[in-house]
Amino acid sequence: MILDCAIIGGGPAGLTAGLYTTRGGLENVTMFERGMPGGQITQSSEIENYPGVTGEITGMELMIPWPAQCQKFGLKHDMVEVTRVTKEDNIFKIYKADDTISEAYSVIIGTGSSPRRAGFVGEDQYFGRGVSTCATCDGFFYKGKEVAVVGGGDTALEEALYLAKICKKVYLIHRRDSFRASPNTVARVKRTENIELILNAIPQEVYGDNMGVNGLKVTMQDGEIRDIVVPGVFTFVGNNVNNQTLIQEDGSFLCNMTKSGEVIVDISMKTSIAGLFATGDMRIAAPKQVVSAAGDGAVAALQAIAYVDELLNA
Ligand code: FAD
Ligand code: NAP
């Protein structure tokens, strides 16, 4: 059977695309998601800017009802990693890690992004043994202890605030003296007594032993090396776009991309390939918000419905 639409990625963009394609009349729609649906927001300890959702809510709590809402309208979920998407004669082929191939008339891709590594010595060696990119997942291990957070964007500051509630002290290490995060979040961090700002500081090396991390050495602006003795280091230094599924056998991309690897789309989420739509954090100029990823999913779904209708009834 050829799917009307294959959705790749089950974050806010993919799930919303699933809701709108199925509810809008496409009958055979499958969402391919390599893990549990919900996307990267499920790692967030708090979300306070999703419209209509007031009060303290975690990213996981926000996303829990989304898959069931889509399934009610017929969306199918295949828990598998997609390895490649190709197109030939109006049919997309979706290659999967279980060595099977699905076919579809249209594809909506929303594979989001993944945490970047900061690049200091020992980061890879101690990843998962004291170095983490998820405060909600690993923060509890450091209850009552001191931790370091690296980064100066919204994620670093929000997660520093989260960790400050669990940990005795948080050292927030940033390579500049001004933050990328929103002013409101910066103000909250500055008001938090157990967060110490270490600015103009470049992380050099995380060190430890068989038991895990013992500390982080940072170079200060004047060249002094400061030793921050902590058992946990959380890095939040941005994300890389997950665009690997669009890479073809010859190394080229299926559709037009920016130099930094984002998918180029128009305001209808159309890519340079007919029937292929890109949504959420992976597309050019993405605001990188749950609400905009969801909006992209809805826009792409409406376009996919029209595209499939025209293709099959032309
Ligand atoms: P993602 O959420 O990244 O989802 C992509 C999905 O695709 C993932 O589930 C992934 O497993 C899947 N996938 C990837 N590759 C494959 C593959 N090859 N095969 C199958 N599946 C695949 N935004 C806000 O609006 N407010 C906030 O407060 C906020 N806080 C945040 C806090 C943190 C810690 C982080 C990391 C992000 C935060 N964001 C916030 C940003 C928000 O999470 C993202 O903008 C949003 O999740 C993007 O949605 P998406 O659907 O594009 O991608
Ligand atoms: P980001 O905005 O790209 O910030 C990354 C931070 O890490 C920057 O401060 C950067 O420093 C620093 N950095 C980068 N590489 C580094 C390295 N090698 N060593 C040390 N520091 C390094 O990433 P993000 O905070 O994950 O946010 C991503 C997007 O999601 C943003 O658009 C953000 O607004 C959004 N988001 C929104 C919310 C919200 O709305 N509440 C919450 C989380 C995320 P410089 O500043 O010097 O470049």
Each residue's pLDDT, cut to its tens digit, for the chain (314 residues) gives: 999 999 999 999 999 999 999 999 999 999 999 999 999 999 887 788 899 999 889 999 999 999 999 999 999 999 999 999 999 999 999 999 999 999 999 999 999 999 999 999 999 999 989 999 989 888 999 999 999 999 999 999 999 999 999 999 999 999 999 999 999 999 999 999 999 999 999 999 999 999 999 999 999 999 999 999 999 999 999 989 999 999 999 999 999 999 989 999 999 999 999 999 999 999 999 988 899 999 999 999 999 999 999 999 97
**Do residues 169 and 182 both lie within one domain?**
yes
Q: Ligand 1 pocket check: which of 15, 36, 77, 111 to mutate, most ligand atoms within 8 Å of Cβ? A: 111
In a domain, 42, yes or no: yes
**First-residue to last-residue Cα distance in the chain:** 20
Question: Ligand 2, atom 14: nearest CA belongs to which residue?
Answer: 237
**Do residues 287 and 268 both lie within one domain?**
yes
**Do residues 13 and 94 both lie within one domain?**
yes
**For position 137, which CATH number holds?**
3.50.50.60
The rounded radius of gyration (Å) of the Cα atoms in the chain is 21
**Do residues 54 and 94 both lie within one domain?**
yes
Q: Is 297 close to ligand 1, i.e. is its CB under 6 Å away?
A: no
Rounded CA gap, 278 and 7, in Å? 10
Which pair of structure tokens corresponds to residue 158? 């929000």
In a domain, 121, yes or no: no
**What is 57-114 written as a DSSP string?**
--HHHHHTHHHHHHHHTT-EEEE--EEEEEEETTEEEEEETTS-EEEEEEEEE---EE
In a domain, 156, yes or no: yes
**Do residues 109 and 247 both lie within one domain?**
yes
Cα-based angle 279, 281, 282 (whole degrees, multiple of 5): 70
**Do residues 77 and 216 both lie within one domain?**
no
Cα(149) to centroid(ligand 1), Å:
21
**Do residues 165 and 27 both lie within one domain?**
no
**Do residues 164 and 297 both lie within one domain?**
no
**Do residues 106 and 251 both lie within one domain?**
yes
Q: Say how many domains are in the chain.
A: 2
In a domain, 65, yes or no: yes
Question: Ligand 2, atom 40: nearest CA belongs to which residue?
Answer: 289
From 211, 235, 259, the end of a domain falls on 235
In a domain, 46, yes or no: yes
Domain that holds residue 24: 5-115+239-312
**Do residues 95 and 243 both lie within one domain?**
yes
Cα(19) to centroid(ligand 2), Å:
30
Rounded CA gap, 168 and 194, in Å? 7
**Do residues 269 and 200 both lie within one domain?**
no
From 201, 235, 269, the end of a domain falls on 235
For the entire predicted model, the pTM comes to 0.86
Residue 163: count other Cβ atoms within 10 Å of its Cβ.
Answer: 26
From 235, 268, 290, the end of a domain falls on 235
In a domain, 126, yes or no: no
137-154: pLDDT as tens digits: 889 999 999 999 999 999
Instruction: Give the residue numbers marked as catalytic.
Output: 134, 137-138
- The partner residues of 87 in beta bridges, in order of sequence, read 92
**What is 165-231 written as a DSSP string?**
HHSSEEEEE-SSSS-SS-HHHHHHHHH-TTEEEE-S-EEEEEEEETTEEEEEEEE-TTS-EEEE--S
**Do residues 257 and 201 both lie within one domain?**
no
Q: What pLDDT is recorded for position 47?
A: 85
